[in-house]
Amino acid sequence: MSATPQHRRVLGEAIRAKRREIKFSQEKLAEKAELSTVFISRVERGKESPSVDSLLKIAKALKVRVRELVVDI
């Protein structure tokens, strides 16, 4: 089993931090982004890379620009 790529971990951590900052649960973020809770969880843990479309949905639900989530990648 291979290690999780660093860029996935960094992105997932940024999404989780912003989600917690605005007091959203994973379920609330998933609902607002029209994505599954399992998918949000996997992205936050760096187990899955979101498509550009999914990343845009997540950013919109968090009320941030995509660049705010990927700035440290």
Q: How many CB atoms lie within 10 A of CB 25?
A: 12
Question: CA-CA distance, 18 to 12, in Å (whole number)?
Answer: 10
Which pLDDT tens digit goes with each residue over 1-12? 568 899 999 999
Q: Is residue 73 exposed (0-12), middle (13-18) or buried (19+ Cβ within 10 Å)?
A: exposed
Q: Which CATH superfamily is domain 6-64 in?
A: lambda repressor-like DNA-binding domains (1.10.260.40)
Which pLDDT tens digit goes with each residue over 38-54? 999 999 999 999 999 99
Global pTM reads 0.93
